[in-house]
Homo-oligomer: A and B are copies of this chain.
């Protein structure tokens, strides 16, 4: 089944805001058997929006628009939807009630502009937006094709899509369908070598199962999707093939399920009832930033010391200044002392440390840009390794962060 997405908004078209809604919609509906045919981004202009809707409704069974709604934009999009799908604008009491509730939760007062949001095209069915004031509108053509107008705020679009809109889409297009998926996190093998290893497995998959590779630098997510009907055995087939997939990839599995490198590391530390600290040089706080994005990390993670300067490496982390002088800050000796130093400083069993050259400056023939030493301390000792990561500064930092966190998880296996 084919889907098209229309992103409405001057702020996106002029490049001030990056659209992430279309990707979220594609990923979410892709797991339910939908294929995204195209994404069109247009300005807040009736003629442009109309042309995009007409094009997409002509060749897609489902069209989702995001944006173009809200107090200052309603006067363009809503009358246009009335023109296209027929009927007048009407006042919707439930929408008003929802707006009142949302405002009360936020401690705000209603104003006339916001109240005008309760006017909706009579030709649509309203799906109440529990996360904002712009109502979600479901338009259905006599041939069964559907257009859903969603708000532009990613928090609202993502939340409402997952919470209710996908279920309405399933009910309309694919009642009693079964859609399942299982994830597996893989590390220590390249994508192409993994694809070779799984060639036979993929060839022998039943037609309603699909394997997707979702690689990020240093970590590959495998997602096995299954589409069928309730009670037709698809759930059992999915389980069977997921178990086989786990067997095929056993040496490289770092986590069963879907997780970030930070979640995998925090999970490994928590299982052992240990605590974690970090000492960062070239990653400059990115390890801490990744870990603190994990909800509930604070019972496991105590903190980090970002030691950009050598004085801090010795003064705060207790790295012997002679070590730095003899081996340089980017060395096995110094990164080991950093990891052990921060573990001692914060009184924890586990620590990770990085020291490297993220670029663009600072590289040499011996230690080119991208060279990063990483150390991992656990109760069984400290391991250190060096890698040279490709790409620009932010890619080096991201990759070094991922590898440090995964090395910790592996050391605790």
**Chain A residues engaging chain B, CB cutoff 8 angstroms:** 7, 12-20, 22-27, 30, 36-43, 48, 52, 55, 155, 214, 280, 284-289, 291-293, 295-298, 301-309, 311-312, 315-316, 345-347, 360-361, 391-394
Contacts and interface: CB of A to CB of B under 8 A. Distances in A.
Given A14-B36, A38-B48, A292 B308 contact: yes
A295 B394 CA distance: 11
A220 to B, nearest CB: 12
B311 A302 contact: yes
Contacts of A55: 55
B298 A308 contact: yes
B292 A303 contact: no
Contact of A15 (B25, B293, B306, B361): B25
Contacts of A17: 23
Nearest to A301: B308
B302 A305 contact: no
A215 to B, nearest CB: 9
A25 B393 CA distance: 22
Contact of A345 (B38, B52, B316, B347): B316
Given A288-B288, A301-B308, A316-B316, 17 more contacts: A13-B26, A13-B36, A14-B26, A14-B27, A16-B23, A39-B39, A39-B41, A55-B55, A284-B291, A288-B289, A293-B393, A295-B360, A303-B312, A304-B306, A311-B346, A311-B347, A315-B346
B298 A289 contact: no
Contacts of A302: 307-309, 311-312
B38 A38 contact: no
Contact of A309 (B13, B20, B41, B298): B298
A214 B12 CA distance: 12
A36 B40 CA distance: 12
A389 to B, nearest CB: 13
Nearest to A155: B392
19 contacts: A15-B36, A16-B23, A17-B23, A22-B41, A39-B41, A280-B285, A285-B286, A285-B287, A285-B288, A285-B292, A285-B304, A286-B289, A301-B308, A302-B307, A303-B312, A304-B305, A305-B306, A316-B316, A316-B346
B30 A38 contact: no
A185 to B, nearest CB: 16
Given A26-B14, A42-B38, A394 B293 contact: yes
A309 B303 contact: yes
Contact of A284 (B15, B25, B39, B289): B289
A134 to B, nearest CB: 17
Contacts of A345: 315-316
Nearest to A214: B16
Contacts of A292: 284-285, 306, 308
Contacts of A360: 295
A15 B19 CA distance: 11
A402 to B, nearest CB: 15
A184 B203 CA distance: 58
A240 to B, nearest CB: 26
